Every structure is written in C-alpha cells, then in structure tokens.
Amino acid sequence: MNTRTHSPVKTPGPVMVDIEGFALNADDIRRIRHPLTGGVILFTRNFQDRAQLMALTQAIRNERDDVLIAVDHEGGRVQRFREDGFTHLPAMRQLGRLWDHDPVIACKAATATGYVLATELRACGIDLSFTPVLDLDYGESGVIGDRAFHSEPRVVTRLAQSVNYGLALGGMANCGKHFPGHGFVKEDSHHELPVDNRSLEEILEKDAAPYFWLGIGLAAVMPAHVIYPQVDPNPAGFSSKWMTILRQELGFDGVIFSDDLSMEGARFAGSVVEGARAALKAGCDMVLICNSPDKADEILSGLEYPQDEAARRSQARLVRLFPQQKALDWDALHKEAQYRQAIEAVSALMQS
C-alpha cells in the first residue's frame, strides 16, 4: 500500500526530525511518513553537492509535500552548505561592525545577505533557515560569539529587520533565536544547562527588546535552552510563563520552535518524550530532535498529540511558513540582476 501523503491541504505534525546521509534510507522514509512529523532539518552531513542536495529535497517532497524542509544556515561558522556554488556568507558580527562605521550601508548589506541566503537555499528545495540570531553580544558566550549582530538591542533589531527583508524578497520566512536571549551566559546549552540569574525587567529591557521591536516582522521564534530562575524554574522552551510573555505581551502569533531536544539543555525535562510533551504543553508549535535517530523514534512512538483546537492553530501557523512563491532555479537565479547585485554586496562585506 502506498502511504505517501500528497494533499492540497497541508497538515504538518509537531515534530521535526533529521536524516542520516546523502539520500533517504528506509528509516528516514518511515520517520518522514509518520503523521507526527512536520519538518525535516538538514545538516552538513546531508550535503555532497548541489545536484545531490536537490535530489534529496525532492525525495523528501515525494514522500510528504506537507513537511517543512529547514536548515541552520546563518552565515559565518554556522553555514551548512559552503561548496559547489553556495556563497560564503558573513558572520552577523561583520554586519554589526559595518553598522558602527555606516548604518545605511550595513542595512543594505544585511538585506543582500538575507536575499542571497534565501534564494540559494530555495533554489535547492529548502523552505526555511533558522535565522536571524537576535542574541546580544556580551563578549562572554562562545557558542553565540560572532553569530550575534551587536551588543546594542537597537542595532540588533535594525540589522535583523534588514536580513528579514532580504529573506522575504527571496520568498523565505525567518526564525528569530534564542528567546529571550542566550548571549549573557557563558555555558553552551548543547553541552550544559545555562542559568541566567538576571531579573525579568533587565532581560526584557535588553535581551528581549528585539523581539518587542521587531513585532510582526518575525515569522517564527526559537526559545533558548536557558533557565532564568528569577522568572521561571524551567528553561525558556519549556516555560509557559515565557511563552505567555511572547504570545500576550509581545503579541507574537507566529510559530514557536523548541531548540533541539537532544541537547544537554533539554535534559531538564526528563526523557526525550517528556521533553517533547513539556515543550508542546508550554506553547511550542513544533519540537526538534536532531542527531539521535533512536530518540526521534521514541518521540514518534510515544508522543500523544490530539487533534484539538490548539493543534489546529499550530498547524495553521506552520503552514504559513511554507514559501508562497515559486523559487527560481539555480541557473535562472544567477542571471537575475537583483541576485548579482546582492552577491556583489556580500562579496564586498566578506573582503572588508
């Protein structure tokens, strides 16, 4: 029996999984076809060259046309695809340094960066990059480091708006991370559970300020695997209080993704299934499970997810992240004047 799902009505599930290699194997296909799956995230291990990447994304589409294909492709040291024609994108700190000399040129370069990022990924069948990073640069966090635009919330906001505009011009949504802010703590939540002891007022005034100021410019948000004990004993991604602040005080109606549930910062919630339940109960629309096929299977087999009104609202939000316009293919993209101009701006920034 053919179990592939092809429907004009998209009904993505609440779990984003990854795949093992350059092509889908039987286990990958089984997970993608699972009704709880709503997304697939790609990594460098899934990239050999552009032809292979395009074949891979098409294979995913052949199994499910209602799963979001995503990647962490920010620029700088977090750029999953770098060869075979992909433009090397700057770390966001380079845009912040340019701002200190010329804010107008910096915003133009940020828009160009977003446009190149979006159009190149979309030409290869990818829907979403988890970008931009909205964390402030306190000079303390190694895991954030030059991924942050700047230390000033106002500058982070303006440059992120420009990147988001470039993404939108390229037909791609955005995802601000890591709410309400990961830049103040030294610990890396991939390997430890960071604790930020500042008050709610200080966090909202500084780190969370870009989320207030960006307003409807954000399509999605990813909370931090960080505990803010003055606010809530749970990490932000498992905290209904932080989700309430995001939804009600900030008026955010986009998608909330959990960060990777296999990270050390997610162990607080217990087993991986308990973590998925806690994140969804707190208000996340989709949970990520990466680099751990066994844990992905645990979530898909152990998570109960009733199709109630909250689930339907989450699905509606997720559907809005899918591109609304057809992507240019690679050859057509490289003939487009707007893309060539954007490439020139990015190249100039990389050489500065």
| pLDDT tens digits, 113-143 | 999 999 999 999 999 999 999 999 998 888 8
pLDDT at 78: 94
Position 181 scores a pLDDT of 94
Rounded to an integer, what is the distance from CA 200 to the centroid of its chain? 25
Model's pTM, two decimal places?
Answer: 0.93
Active site residue 190: yes
Token pair, residue 223, equals 């909370």
Distance CA 302, CA 130 (A): 27
- CA dist 211 → 220, 247, 252 (Å): 11, 11, 9
The per-residue pLDDT for 267 is 61
Six-digit token string for 94: 């380079």
Which class for 192: exposed (0-12), middle (13-18), buried (19 or more C-beta within 10 A)? Answer: middle
Beta carbons within 10 angstroms of residue 329's beta carbon: 12
Q: Are strands 255-260 and 286-288 parallel, antiparallel or unpaired?
A: parallel
Asked if omega into 88 is within 30° of 0 (cis), the reply is: no
Q: For residue 2, what pLDDT is reported?
A: 41
Q: Which residues of 274-308 are buried (b: 16+ CB within 10 A; e: fewer)?
A: ebbbbbbebbbbbbbbbebbebbbbbbeebebeee
Count CB atoms within 10 A of the CB of residue 317.
18
Q: Which member of 65, 188, 190, 334 is catalytic?
A: 190
**Rounded to whole angstroms, what are the CA distances from 8 to 14, 65, 126, 127, 262?**
19, 9, 19, 17, 33
Q: Which residue matches tokens 């890396």?
A: 188
260 carries an active-site annotation: no
Task: Please confirm whether the linkage preceding 235 is cis (ω < 30° from 0).
Answer: no
pLDDT at 3: 46
Say which of 18, 66, 146, 259 is annotated catalytic.
259
In this prediction, the residues of the chain whose per-residue pLDDT falls under 50 are 1-3, 5
Locate 205 and state its tokens. Answer: 């005034």
Check if the beta carbon of residue 292 is closer than 8 Å to that of residue 282. no
Burial of 199 (0-12, 13-18, 19+ CB in 10 A): exposed
DSSP 288: E
Structure tokens at 236: 């932000």
